[in-house]
Amino acid sequence: MVYRRVLTAIYPGSFDPITNGHLDVIGRAARLADRLVVGVLSNANKNPTFPLEERVEMTREAVRKYPNIEVTHFDGLLVEFAEREKAKIIVRGIRAISDYEFELQMALMNRRLRPDLETVFLMASEQYSFVSSRIIKEVARLGGEIGGLVPPHVEARLKAQFQRS
């Protein structure tokens, strides 16, 4: 009998909403791990545009073409989520040096809490280096064009969300 170890990575975020920048990182991370768990954060301190269930649903739809990706939600400490998923790697996307400074602090704290858990930083592709969920929502709220920056199903939900507001 041959035993094959499965390398599990997690990619956490609020995904409010998921963008093509997120999907770029997800697609590349899916090639690095046998199993990638996208964890949608339920954070009571944030005021998300979309409820948790809808963010999970939009994310699942966006990644359905990847056979090795699972989408779930979590709250609490990231290292506890990683432990539950038996993950050895946390994947984080970096767009700019300002992202790196914050992400480095988080990675070092996570390492202190769980030394066997590694953080891997993936640089954003150039075409998505300016894309953030916050900017996408602001442009959509003001009626601007967001095609090509989010999946079509997310674009439709954003337009519907801000027509109601």
Q: Is 134 a residue of the active site?
A: no
Q: What value, to the nearest 5°, has the Cα angle with vertex 151 and ends 102 and 68?
A: 75
Q: Is 159 a residue of the active site?
A: no
Catalytic-labelled residue, pool 55, 92, 133, 157: 133
Catalytic-labelled residue, pool 22, 92, 137, 157: 22
| Amino acid (1-letter code) at residue 53 | E
How far apart are alpha carbons 28 and 36 in whole angstroms? Answer: 10
Catalytic-labelled residue, pool 35, 73, 88, 95: 95
Q: Is 22 a residue of the active site?
A: yes
Is 151 within 8 Å of 61 (Cβ atoms)?
Answer: yes
Q: How far is CA 120 from the centre of its chain?
A: 13
Q: Is 42 a residue of the active site?
A: no
Q: What is the set of active-site residues?
A: 22, 46, 95, 133
